[in-house]
Amino acid sequence: MDTNWIYGPILIIVLHIFALLIYAASKRIIAVRKKQLDYKVVQNLDYRAMPEDILLAGRSYDNQFQQPILFIVLLGFIASNAIQDTTWILAAWLYVLLRLWHSIEHLKAHNLKRRTYAFGLSSLLLLFMWLAFLVSRLV
C-alpha cells in the first residue's frame, strides 16, 4: 500500500468546494438577473439585504476554508511521513462524509440538530486525527 489513498479524500473535498462555489455564485447571478437581488447588495456583500438561501449558499462555501483546510494540511503531513495505516484511510473518508452531510443539512434539509451533529462529529474526528498524528510523531 502506498500513500496514493490520500488523493481520494482530498479530491472529494476540493470538488465539494468548487461545487459550492458554483452553487453560491449561480444563486447570486440568477437572483440579480431576475431582479430579485440588486447587484449592489452582492457587490457590497450586504448580508442583511440578501435572501436567506443565497446567504446560506455563501456561508456554506465560506465554511470550507475553515476546518477542511486543516484536514487537507493534515493529509499532506500524513503523505509526507508515508503513513499507510487503514485507520487513517477510514478516518479520512469518514471526515469527508461528515463534511458532505454537514453541507446537505446546511443547504437543503435545514435541520439544525442534524447539522450540529455532523459539525460536532467532524470537528471531534479532525481533532482526534490531529492529536493522533502529533502523538505518533513525538513518541
Q: What is the pLDDT of residues 103-126, one digit of tens each?
A: 999 999 989 999 999 999 999 999
pLDDT tens-digit readout, 61-80: 999 999 999 999 999 999 99
Residues 6+ apart with CB under 8 A from 129: 71, 74, 88, 91, 92, 95
Residues 6+ apart with CB under 8 A from 78: 3, 6, 88, 133
Q: How many CB atoms lie within 10 A of CB 105?
A: 20
Q: What is the pLDDT of residue 39?
A: 85
Angle subtended at Cα 117 by Cα 70 and Cα 22, rounded to the nearest 5 degrees: 55
pTM for this entry = 0.91
* d(C-alpha 88, C-alpha 45), whole Å: 39
What domains are defined for the chain? 3-138 (1.20.120.550)
